[in-house]
């Protein structure tokens, strides 16, 4: 499946989910036996760990359809890049979606840390904050610092954009697949209020 076809399938699945048309009867269903025979996901989703944003449900997909990688703040670290490389090279999947969401806790925590540093923060939690930091700290030097809601909106999108850029330009394997085999990496934002996913084809800070 091409990246374009995969993207359209995700759009339609999300439309059905957000509209409430995706009922138990219409939800894609694959038996565990069939799904265990082979793995052929049509899209790779690097998403946030937030329990309110399960990619398979948000996009109306079933077992074996998506290769999902979840981490707080949908940040990119070496092991996560490796997971994307594995799926793209092993299964021929041609679409990667970095899926962030409104009111992301990791982004909020980073903004809080930049404004009021915490001395005894867990080093493991700090590692997540440190990966979000470069995408949002510049925003605090703009007029957005006076508008918290607007600041958070822009910070979430900036963080998505940095992860997209990292995947597009931080891996020789992915760069080759983009250049030669039609791999596409896009950003997307899920709205906790509406259930809709907005694709940000050129999401950058």
Structural domain harbouring 35: 3-200
Q: What's the whole-model pTM score?
A: 0.88
- The reply to whether 63 falls in a domain is yes
At residue 184, the pLDDT reads: 96
pLDDT in tens, 14-44: 999 999 887 654 555 555 555 556 789 999 9
Domain count, the chain: 1
pLDDT in tens, 67-91: 999 999 999 999 999 999 999 999 9
pLDDT in tens, 137-187: 888 888 888 888 999 999 999 999 999 999 999 999 999 999 999 999 999
* Edge-to-edge order in the sheet of strand 95-101: 66-70, 43-47, 95-101, 184-190, 197-200
Q: Average pLDDT, stretch 109-133?
A: 83
- The reply to whether 205 falls in a domain is no
Q: Average pLDDT, stretch 50-73?
A: 94
In order of 61, 104, 125, 158, 164, the CA distances from 3 in angstroms are: 16, 27, 34, 23, 15
CATH number at residue 115: 3.40.1050.10
Strand partners, 68: 45
At residue 34, the pLDDT reads: 56
Q: Is the pLDDT of residue 203 over 50?
A: no
- The reply to whether 14 falls in a domain is yes
Higher pLDDT, 90 or 120: 90
């Amino acid at each position: 499946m091409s990246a374009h076809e995969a993207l359209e399938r995700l759009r339609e699945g999300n439309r059905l989910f957000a509209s409430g048309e995706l009922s138990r009867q219409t939800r894609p269903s694959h038996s565990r036996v069939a799904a265990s025979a082979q793995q052929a996901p049509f899209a790779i989703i690097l998403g946030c760990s937030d329990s309110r944003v399960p990619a398979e449900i948000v996009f109306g997909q079933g077992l074996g359809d998506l290769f999902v990688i979840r981490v707080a703040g949908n940040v990119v670290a070496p092991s996560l890049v490796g997971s994307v490389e594995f799926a793209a090279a092993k299964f021929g999947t041609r679409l990667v979606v970095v899926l962030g969401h409104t009111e992301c806790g990791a982004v909020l925590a980073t903004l809080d840390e930049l404004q009021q540093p915490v001395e005894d923060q867990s080093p493991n939690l700090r590692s997540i904050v440190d990966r979000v930091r470069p995408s949002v700290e510049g925003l605090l030097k703009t007029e957005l610092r006076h508008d918290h809601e607007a600041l958070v909106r822009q910070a979430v999108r900036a963080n998505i954009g940095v992860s997209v850029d990292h995947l597009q330009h931080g891996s020789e394997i992915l760069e080759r697949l983009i250049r030669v085999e039609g791999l596409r990496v896009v950003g997307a934002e899920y709205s906790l209020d509406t259930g809709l996913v907005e694709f940000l084809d050129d999401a950058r800070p």
